[in-house]
Amino acid sequence: MVKTTINLDEGIYAEIVKESIEKYGSTKNISKIINQRLRNKKTGARKRGKRITFKAQNNLSSLDADNEIRKGWEESSK
């Protein structure tokens, strides 16, 4: 591992900090986020698609919830 200092635009830094907190619960893993992004760019990996949201009924059993999720996925991918 090589240590260096880099200067990031404030917007990019804020985005990386947010992702680090969401993924790892702290900002201690900012380097992991940057390494993952650079690795993905190098290998041509694409960013995940947009988040799919849909409404489901309350108090569903797990099987019913799976069916609702599947139905929502199918409707959003049309």
Q: Which residue has the higher pLDDT, 24 or 46?
A: 24
- Has residue 4 got a pLDDT over 70? yes
User: What residues contact residue 21 under an 8 Å CB cut-off, 6+ apart?
Assistant: 27
The pLDDT of residue 57? 66
**Of 71, 34, 37, which is closest to residue 54 (Cα–Cα)?**
71
Q: pLDDT tens-digit profile of 30-66?
A: 999 999 889 888 777 655 666 667 666 666 666 677 7
Query: Which residues make Cβ contacts (< 8 Å) with residue 28, sequence separation at least 6?
Result: 20
Three-state SS at 20: helix
Residue-averaged pLDDT of the chain: 80
Residue with the two structure tokens 């985005």? 15
What is this structure's pTM? 0.50
Give the start-to-end residue ranges of the domains of the chain: 10-43, 48-78
